[in-house]
Structure 1
Amino acid sequence: MQEIKWGIIGCGDVTEKKSGPAFNKIPHSELVAVMRRDGEKAADYARRHNVPKWYDDADLLLNDPEVNAIYIATPPGSHEDYTLKALRLGKPVYVEKPMARNAAECAEMVRVSHETGVPLFVAYYRRTLPYFVKLKELIDQKAIGDIRLVNITLHWPPYPEEVGENAQPRWRVDPEISGGGHFHDLASHQFDFLEYALGPIKTARGISRNQAGLYAADDVVMANFEFESGVVGSGSWCFTGSKRHRIDEAYLLGTLGKITFSFFEKFTITVETQDHTEVIDLPYPEHVQQPLIETIVAELRGEGTCPSTGQTGARANIIIDWITANG
């Protein structure tokens, strides 16, 4: 495959800056078609981003002979269906995270990818972001010695549209569409990176509850997990806390020190040892998915390897299913 001609299914908010523009900024990559069920919005996106073609029917985009790679940026409820269709048409797939609503759907996507021999990639772009590349480098170089434990804290207040008399929560907290709530959406990034950096998680257990009743999904989760390496971890996630006590922080404790970092909102990594503290500042690039998309294009052209595949992407769903099994 010499030139990668992309088609996007679901050209919504995530594609405006995080991903969409990147397809045209990578050599041998071009965004040639977009699709959205609302034809007016699809046409508007195509016009603003200089995309030659737009559709309001996914099957038309999937069968467009010029499109030879598919980016699926719809909510998780349709990931499996669109992925299987694309794979069976022989078109490589780049699917948004979470990869699907649950581990069973992910397993079917991976099975068909193997069956057809068509590549499947997942948008866990932290694997290639400079911030997290540096974090993994610090771990690999044993900057704080051997890692003993990891802790995650993510406490956010409700989104404005989730509270009040006229509340209209988004699809992310509708389990029929998303598979869960904000935990499913955000913790998937966290567990994917932790496995990338620290190796496979062999067990995970948790408690997930809906305390505030703002929507159908869980809004608070506590979890413990253990890596095959022996490193242990814990985490707490709350999405109905106070604005004043909003926190996005994680840390790794090692035999020689501690690394404190953020998964979402901050761009500093703090490395503390017995006699030294270093603060590393690494802002995200303009299009956060571009470094990962570059690796996908390279792999499809036979010039490299993408670190986020269907097989690795499915792991986050497995871990989340373990944790929320008693929710």
Structure 2
Amino acid sequence: MSNKLRWGVVATGGIADVVTGDLRLLPDVEVLAVSSRAVPKAEAFAAKHGIPRAYGDYADLLADPDVDVVYVATPHVQHHAVTRAALEAGKHVLCEKPATLTLAELQDVVHLAHERGLFFMEAIWTRFNPLVVRMTELIAEGAIGEVRSVRADFGFTLEHDPEHRLWNKALGGGSLFDLGIYPVSFAHLVLGEPETVQAHGRLVGGVDAEIGMLLGYPDGVHALLGSSLVSPLKSGAVVYGTRGLVDVPEALYNPSRIVVNGVEHRHEQEGAGYVPQLREVVKRVRAGETESPSMRPAESLAILRTLTRAAERVGLTYDDVTVG
């Protein structure tokens, strides 16, 4: 490994563009390569971000011996295939959420990463947001007493277009796995994996346009969660305790402020907000570790179990669209 950790970016869409911008803010990182099925797109992306190597196929990027870590930013349905190939090529992996669409796929890549001794993490940046970290500390210290319930939502209106990735089942579309993963992950962070999962929603073209979830825990503790592509849900969260509450007023996925028992907490965001997550990957890979304690593969599996249970309640499945 060189003095700088060398990254390869697979795909050139909007999320890849923003995350790559944040990667370049880290002094001990070099974004060495990018791949896209369309070579001109890879070349344009490389020129924009000062990336020296552009490939037309992710297999070529994975064959580059100088790439240490791969960031997977393809459509959801391709995550498993690209992640598995990267691990087989001996690369550490940061994969956008959801890491895979099925439990079998996620179990496969988690096992492979463990077998190869490679770092693997699902990119749920919320877990590394300084205010979210502080929130968990305050809750653990008893600032709001015993947590009794969580409310969390994430939704917006998106005109129905069967070709758009969020409405296209063949691309892993729907609100639950793209947006609902944030409220579910938030509930898991505060309460852990639920005993029961209830859900009610509506399918359009085989994907969920909206879904509401009730997660049940012992002694009546619960979480009410929602995601939608047809309603502008308040994309925030509230954690209710026996002696107070934590309010995340907006941007549940990347809050810039939280209010704990009436006291506001703020932080200055680094870059577009992905820097803390990316710094964590660098730290763990440099240390020879294969996972982050803040977002372990076991946690990704637990979150996906909950998502899968909710999906089954509304008749949503991706088993028939998964690619190898």
- Deviation, 1:54, is 0.3
Partner residue in 2 for 1:290: 275
Which deviations, in whole Å up to 9, do the C-alpha atoms of 1:275-313 show, x marking residues without a partner? xx2222335432322111111111111177622233322
Q: Which residue of 2 aligns with 1:175?
A: 169
Q: Does 1:232 align with 2:217?
A: no
2:300 maps to what in 1?
A: 313
In the alignment, is the contact (CA less than 8 A) between 1:123 and 1:289 conserved in 2? no
Kept in 1, the 8 Å contact 2:154–2:182? The answer is no
Residue 15 of structure 2 corresponds to 14
Distance 1:155 1:47 in 2: 34
Give TM-score scaled by structure 1 length.
0.86
Task: Count matched residues.
Answer: 309
Q: What amino acid is aligned across from residue 12 of structure 1 in structure 2?
A: G
Partner AA of 1:301 in structure 2: R
Determine helix, strand or coil for the equivalent of 1:280.
Answer: strand
Indicate the percent of aligned positions where both proteins have the same amino acid.
Answer: 24
Q: 1:199 to 1:48 in 2, by over 3 A?
A: same
What is the rounded CA distance, in whole Å, between the counterparts of 1:265 and 1:29 in structure 2? 23
* Letter in structure 2 aligned against 1:239: L
Q: Is the 8 A contact 2:153 2:180 kept in 1?
A: no
CA distance 1:64–1:154, shift in 2 (3 Å): closer
The structural deviation recorded for 1:237 is 2.8
* Residue 217 (1) aligns with residue 210 (2): no
Give yes or no for the alignment of 1:255 onto 2:255: no
How far is 1:66 from its partner?
1.1
Distance 1:59 1:154, change over 3 A: closer
Determine if contact 1:90/1:116 at 8 Å carries over to the other structure: yes
Residue 194 of structure 1 pairs with residue 187 of structure 2: yes
Do the aligned partners of 2:126 and 2:254 also contact (CA within 8 Å) in 1?
no
Distance 1:112 1:228, change over 3 A: farther
- CA distance in structure 1 between the aligned counterparts of 2:257 and 2:284, rounded to whole angstroms: 31
Looking at structure 2, the residues matched to 229 and 83 of structure 1 have their Cα atoms a distance apart, in angstroms, of: 39
Q: Secondary structure at the match of 2:264?
A: strand
- 2:56 aligned with 1:56, yes or no? yes
Summarize deviations over 1:167-214 as a string: whole Å, max 9, x none: 455212322222x4122111212222332333333332212322xx4x
In the TM superposition, residue 230 of structure 1 has moved relative to its aligned partner by: 6.5
Q: Pairwise CA RMSD of aligned residues?
A: 2.3
User: Secondary structure at 1:201's aligned position in 2?
Assistant: coil
Partner Cα separation in structure 2 for residue 123 and residue 91 of structure 1 = 16
Task: Please list, as runs of the form range in 1=range in 2, the aligned pairs for 1:1-327 lying within 5 A after superposition.
Answer: 1=1, 3-17=4-18, 19-157=19-157, 159=158, 162-163=159-160, 167=161, 169-178=163-172, 180-210=173-203, 213=204, 215-227=205-217, 231-241=221-231, 246-261=233-248, 262=250, 263-264=252-253, 267-272=256-261, 277-282=262-267, 284-302=269-287, 306=292, 307-327=294-314
- Whether contact under 8 Å (1:152, 1:250) holds in the other structure is yes
TM-score (norm 2): 0.87
